[in-house]
Structure 1
Amino acid sequence: MNRSLSLRARLTVVILTPLLLIALAVGAWAYIDAQRAAAARFDRSLLSTALAISRDTAVTGGDALSEETRDLLRDTSGGAVFYHVYAPDGVFVTGYATPPVPPEQVPSDATQAYYDAVYRGAPVRALRFSQSTSIDQVSGLFTFTVWQQTALRDGFVQRRTEPVFVIIASMIGALALIVWFGVRLGLTPLLELEEAIARRSATDLSPIRRQVPEEAYGIVARFNTLLSELSRTMANKDAIISNAAHQLRNPIAGVQTLAEAVHHARTMETAKERSANLLVAVREAGHLTDTLLTLEKARAPATPV
């Protein structure tokens, strides 16, 4: 008989597999939702910073920024923000000298565009914002570019999703333990049934009368039927052996007595030789009869407990 995966392990796998799939789906949804929320938050922060810079640049001509705007640049959504401003004729006004280059799919004439780029070897999220204003007697469409490293956004997503993943992992671990030991407790009636079957032997073919789960009732009923059939077969066989032994014992004893009388009689040598052979055969038959009787006694069923 080949052994397969235990029933306990199978039930555990069947119960936990859907839960794991649901947990993975919830984790993926939480991660995607956190990314979406972080992107919206950081984009709003970039827009607020760009508007503040455009206001201060128009007021001071790009010479100075207000304290509130400098605070925004130092710590917007948890990290520094960089900026660049140039005039309608492309002349640098203020900020960092070189802004991140937008990808080709960003329209050059868009008044407001978010894009991902690389600045000094680090990935950044940038906003290019165009506004018509007047700075130092120069009027026209000024372009403001603000950007921030995406590592800050990724850190925000990680901090937001880590508790979710920890909670999911803890719940799955707790459920795994509960299911493992719960299934073991639920399988206790089957283990007791196994012990009851193990106590059955050739001398104890009594049916199993203990209470069993509904799922195992058909198996136990069929097993009891087989035990009853086997018990009847053994009883019939024992009856045949016993009857044959009793039917043969007296005739063989008579033949044995007669053969011994012939063996001791004073007759011809040939008669003596045949009588000796007859005596041996009769003794063997008697021994066989005794063996059958002994076997019948040994196989007599014991009284069930």
Structure 2
Amino acid sequence: MAETRQVKATLSLKSRVAIAVTSVLVLGGVVVLIAALAYGRQAAREAYDRLLLGAAADIAGTILVHDGVAVVDMPVSAFELLSLAPDDRIRYRVVGPDGKTLTGDEAVPLPPEKDGEGSTFYDGTFGTEPARYVAFTRRFAERSFSGPVKVIVGHTLLARRELARDIAQNALLVLGIAGAAMAVFAWLVVSRALRPLQRIGAALAAREPTDLTPLSLSAPQEVAGMLASLNGFMTRLQRQSVATGNLIGDAAHQLRTPVAAIRAQAQLAASETDPVKRNRIVNRVQERAAGLGHLLDQLLSRAMIIHRADSEPAAQLDLRDVAVETLEACDDLLVQAGLEVELQLADRVVPVRGDALSLTEAGKNLLINALRHGRAPIRLGVSDGPTVRLWVSDGGGGPPAGSAATLSTRFAGAGRSGGSGIGLAIAREVAEGHGGRIRMNHDGARFTVALELPRMSG
């Protein structure tokens, strides 16, 4: 029993898609997380910077000049704004035009030097903790008091960090939910997309071993290409199987009678005592053996032609070279028959696309058919035109009227002058395999059999 090769199973397409989707989601999650952290820090900074700026503006708005002295009346609203960051420590400082602290903590760091009014944000420390400050400048121009007054408000960064972390966590949570949904949908979509492959596998598994007919299933475009290739392979396999079956059937059908006749003649020769009769029997055995050898050659040639039609790639040929090869392959038959064949070739290249050996075999069968059944003079030629022709003609009358159409079928002419009836069938199969046909005609003086093939453009 032949060893069955095990199919090596690799990672399934579903698993590959799942890994790919997961990888994309993880990579996207890292990118989104980094972006979310950056956005969260930026959003938290802008939100709490506005709180600091609002508190500083409220404090600056309450500064009054009384008897040439700036008086600060700390507003409740400023502390209400700062209380929105309940876990952070806050401090403030109001600095007069002369650089002296009017009120607040003198340890509050001053901002970088900046001319004019407005606000300036800057980073500093609150003891050992990092902090964020805003300096809001209000300029006074009164007779008793003039110059800029800076209101500095700052707090630690706990609330900012917590807000940035919440924004990043929420973004990551949304991404995780969306990623899980995408993974589930991807799995479902891939499962549905792979159903045609499962149907193809089930259809093949349900078939009988001898059923090589093409599969007729609807499939997506990507799977349809594979299905078409599979059907093409099955068609070639079926053609080879049919050819093998025909070869076995033909051999069983055609070889039984000549082998039995040779065996009977050999028995007669073994029991015959008359030398003259024995020689006559031996001659008949030789004739039968020669016919049997020719039949075997024809059967094997036909099997070889069918095999090469699927296995040999077509090549660009000059049909004139095929004609010359055909004539050279029949030299021994011409010598035995004492005949000459007139070769008539076109003046220029006659391009075709095909298998040189198959075309030569077809030409040989046409020429041998003319040698056995035709009359001299015999001609072998190639002609060019919209279709190219490899033809053989003789001076005979050709087959009886009405029988020409059936001569190119297997064994149609068996028994005619010792013929096997396969030669024209081989020529027809070669012609059809090259997209052409066999054409026979009689012009009143000569009978012609031709392989008509499509001309190669360019």
Q: Structure 2 length as normaliser, TM-score? A: 0.45
Specify which structure has the higher proportion of helix.
Answer: 1
Query: How far is 1:93 from its partner?
Result: 3.0
Q: Which residue of 1 aligns with 2:47?
A: 41
What is the identity, as a one-letter code, of the residue corresponding to 2:93? H
Shift of the alpha carbon at 1:45?
A: 1.4
SS at match of 2:234: helix
Q: 1:125 aligns with which of 113, 120, 132?
A: 132
Q: Using the TM superposition, give the Cα deviation of residue 165 of structure 1 relative to its aligned residue in structure 2, in angstroms.
A: 2.8
**1:84 maps to what in 2?**
93
CA distance in 2, matches of 1:199, 1:23: 46
Q: Which residue does 1:159 correspond to in 2?
A: 166
Query: Which has the larger displacement, 19-28 or 185-194?
Result: 19-28
The residue type paired with residue 183 of structure 1 is V
Larger mean CA deviation between 59-68 and 223-232 belongs to 59-68
Q: Which residue of 2 aligns with 1:281?
A: none
User: Where in structure 2 are there 5+ consecutive unaligned residues?
Assistant: 1-6, 271-458
Matched residue type, 2:236: E
Counterparts of 1:209 and 1:113 in 2: how far apart (Å)?
77
Mapped to 2, the partners of 1:180 and 1:35 lie a distance apart of 36
Equivalent position SS for 2:183: helix
For residues 251-292 of structure 1, the C-alpha deviation after alignment (integer angstroms, 9 at most, x for no partner) is 6667778989999xxxxxxxxxxxxxxxxxxxxxxxxxxxxx
CA contact (8 A) 1:128 1:144 kept: yes
CA contact (8 A) 2:139 2:149 kept: yes
Unaligned runs of 5+ in 1: 264-305
- In 1, distance between residues paired with 2:138 and 2:25? 53
- Structure showing the higher strand proportion among its residues: 2
Q: Alignment identity in percent?
A: 27
> Number of residue pairs matched?
259
Q: CA 1:120/1:209 → structure 2, altered by over 3 Å: closer, same or farther?
A: same
Contact 1:86–1:144 (CA under 8 A) maintained in structure 2: yes
TM-score by structure 1 length?
0.64
State the partner residue of 1:236: 243
For each residue in 1:2-60, what CA deviation from the matched residue of structure 2 results, as whole angstroms up to 9, or x when unmatched?
Answer: 87775445666787888888888877776655544433332221122223334556489
Whole-angstrom distance in 1 between the partners of 2:138 and 2:72: 18
Q: Over aligned residue pairs, what C-alpha RMSD do you find?
A: 4.4
CA deviation string 1:121-156 (max 9, x = no partner): 32222112233459xx97643322111223322322
Residue pair 1:88, 1:142 contacting (<8 A) in 2 also:
yes
SS in 2 for 1:88: coil
Q: Label 1:195 to 1:138 Cα distance change in 2 as closer, same or farther (>3 A).
A: same
After superposition, the Cα gap between the structure-2 partners of 1:160 and 1:228, relative to the gap in structure 1 and judged at 3 Å, is closer
| Residue number in structure 2 paired with 1:226 | 233
Distance 1:140 1:220, change over 3 A: closer
User: Relative to 1, partners in 2 of residues 1:139 and 1:195: Cα closer, same or farther, differing over 3 Å?
Assistant: same
8 Å Cα contact 1:100-1:119 kept in structure 2: no
Structure 2: how far apart are the matches of 1:186 and 1:13?
17
Does 2:175 match 1:168? yes
Report SS of the residue matched to 2:134.
strand
